[in-house]
Amino acid sequence: MTDENEYRFGTRAVHAGQQPDPTTGAIMTPIYQTSTYAQEGIGVHKGHEYARVSNPTRTALEGNVAALEGAAHGAAFASGVAAIEAMVKLLSAGDHVICGSNVYGGTDRLFRQVLARLGLEFSFVDTREPKRIADAVTDRTRIVLVETPTNPMMHLTDIAAAAEIAHQAGAWLVVDNTFATPYFQKPLALGADAVVHSSTKYLNGHSDVVGGIVLTSDDEIIEGLRFLQKSAGAVPGPMDCWLVLRGTKTLHVRMEMHDANGRRIAEWLQHEPRVEAIFYAGLPTHPQHALAKKQMTGFGGMISIELSSRERAEAFLRGTRIFTLAESLGGVESLISHPAAMTHAAVPKEDREAMGITDGLVRLSVGIEDVEDLIEDLDRALPK
Ligand SMILES: *Cc1c(COP(=O)(O)O)cnc(C)c1O
């Protein structure tokens, strides 16, 4: 496909970034399992020299996801945290990053325990209130990074408002769009400068790859990221790129189903007396539901619930049969997890509790199984 932007989402999901293979006509992008490429003479080649720098399977994936996010460019990395690290490594020691306080635990750990040691400065603020971002700006602020909805509290950030504040400060707004996916939320269209994903999650959707990607239309950002792919090398292999590329072909179909199942289960949980509280942006009772409707077109399959104690949470986690106790999210199969002990164990306990990640909190990643089976599973497992 050549002029991607003239097509709608599902058509782009299936075709963007890919053409039949020029040598054989293969419809599916081959897995170019090679580390290097033959040169006819010094510097005379077909556009690829060494696979850390570029690989045709990776290029196809980058073009595909860029088209889905409405970006001019994509840069794929070996994991979601590698993508986030690359974005922040565009900065220099002494520069300042404002990061949402409730982000993925691995992002928090990367910033506090790795990059802060190398001289970058981080402020963690509750970005639900855009003014807090403005209050945290310094003359060295270069990146504002927000996750919306957040993992696992489903807090939202007003992307357009955050972009305006970032730009006034001369900083980039980077949005981690892993939870919503471009099918339900397009941060670049709302003013963000770059989008990051853990493609491990919904983009791939089948829980068989770890990967990350950054999408942007900003030339300075993409040049910097290409330089980092080459110079720091946290790039994905061709097999993993191919798997994610296969996943994105059904992103629109899967997300409709995650969303339909997510809404049904959220509604059921909301009326369930054994559940103390429910966090799902698609419910009218969510404190930021109006913002959710403004900047998202669907709410997906991520739901957190409060069961008020570690004992009740553990009984529930042990009791499900279809929902499997595991880290990660966004696959076709339903998973259940305990953020305080699992994904967010690296976040300091006071910070964790301040944002609501209690010992009674359970996170559901609702898959695409039959929703009646999922509800029966939860009903059976919920402790009295
Ligand atoms: C999982 C996750 C990440 C990290 O991605 P990996 O692929 O596991 O490195 C970053 N952000 C969010 C929102 C995530 O859920």
Distance of alpha carbon 243 from alpha carbon 333, whole angstroms: 17
CB distance 150 to ligand 1 below 6 Å: no
**Residue extents of the structural domains in the chain:** 4-248, 251-381
Give yes or no: 186 in active site: no
Q: What is the pLDDT of residue 3?
A: 59
The closest alpha carbon to 154, from 302, 346, 260, belongs to 302
Q: What is the pLDDT of residue 98?
A: 98
Give yes or no: 12 in active site: no
| 70: Cβ contacts below 8 Å, ≥ 6 apart | 5, 182, 186, 188, 189, 217
Interior angle at CA 261, CA 258 and CA 263, nearest 5: 105
CB distance 181 to ligand 1 below 6 Å: no
- From 198, 207, 209, 364, the mutation candidate for ligand 1 (largest count of ligand atoms within 8 A of CB) is 198
Closest atom of ligand 1 relative to the 211 alpha carbon: 7
CATH architecture of 251-381: Alpha-Beta Complex (3.90)
Give yes or no: 293 in active site: no
Tokens describing residue 315: 């009984």
Q: How far is the CA of 138 from the centre of ligand 1 (A)?
A: 27
Query: Per the omega criterion (within 30 degrees of 0), is the bond before 238 cis?
Result: no
Distance of alpha carbon 183 from alpha carbon 242, whole angstroms: 20
Closest atom of ligand 1 relative to the 150 alpha carbon: 13
Q: What is the pLDDT of residue 186?
A: 98
Interior angle at CA 331, CA 327 and CA 333, nearest 5: 90
CB 44 within 8 A of CB 201: no
Single-letter residue type at 46: K
List per-block mean pLDDT (blocks of 10 residues) for the chain, which spans 384 residues.
Answer: 77 96 94 96 93 97 98 98 98 98 93 97 97 98 98 96 98 98 98 98 98 98 98 98 98 98 98 97 96 98 97 97 96 97 87 90 98 98 95
CB 175 within 8 A of CB 195: yes
Protein residue with least CA distance to atom 12, ligand 1: 104
Protein residue with least CA distance to atom 8, ligand 1: 80
Alpha carbon of 352 to those of 104, 166, 243, 355: distances in Å? Answer: 11, 26, 34, 6
CB distance 105 to ligand 1 below 6 Å: no
Give yes or no: 384 in active site: no
Distance of alpha carbon 275 from alpha carbon 331, whole angstroms: 24
The closest alpha carbon to 261, from 297, 301, 289, 303, belongs to 301
CB 340 within 8 A of CB 360: no
CB distance 54 to ligand 1 below 6 Å: no
Class of the domain covering 4-248: alpha beta
Q: Is 21 exposed, middle or buried (0-12, 13-18, 19+ CB in 10 A)?
A: middle
Closest atom of ligand 1 relative to the 106 alpha carbon: 4
Q: Is 191 exposed, middle or buried (0-12, 13-18, 19+ CB in 10 A)?
A: middle
Q: How far is the CA of 271 from the centre of ligand 1 (A)?
A: 31
State pTM to two decimals: 0.97
